[in-house]
Amino acid sequence: MPSSLHRTLCMLVVAGAFAGGCQNKVGQCNELVGAIQKHTTGVKDAVVRLADVERDPSVAEAFGKLTKEAHTDIGKLEFSDARLAELRGDYLALLDRAEAWSRELAEAARTGDVQTLGEVKREAVAVAEREIAIVDAVNEYCQG
């Protein structure tokens, strides 16, 4: 994740300490950013390991497991703020798609299906770009 997420998290925690109550926008932003941040390092490391998927399909399976864990944590959150609820839904949909393509990637690597490997890798880039856009939208909304 971009370092702006880390800065946002720090700013929101400080702001939340003064705003009081977790039902306000700041508290809800803290919850969402914190849940996303919790999985950042693991997912980032798993993405790096995906480079070895053709030799070791289990790295795609490990990535899928991490996306499921993130989905579970973020899926538990509920927001009264409509925009945060929408962004949470967008992120959950992204995690669903990432988990699905991780299965496709593992299967393509196991069977040596070069065409599918290429297609899924291209989709992985699109998923990563979408993730950045969602995080940027969370940051923009929470800082505003």
Q: What is the pLDDT of residues 16-71, one digit of tens each?
A: 444 444 469 999 999 999 999 999 888 888 888 888 899 999 999 999 999 999 99
Residue 106: which pLDDT band, with cuts at 50, 70 and 90?
very high
Which DSSP state fits 56?
-
User: pTM to 2 decimals?
Assistant: 0.80
* Integer Cα distance of 116 and 123 in angstroms: 10
Residue among 83, 81, 101 at smallest CA distance from 91: 83
Gyration radius (Cα) of the chain, Å: 17
Going from N- to C-terminal start, the domains of the chain cover 3-143
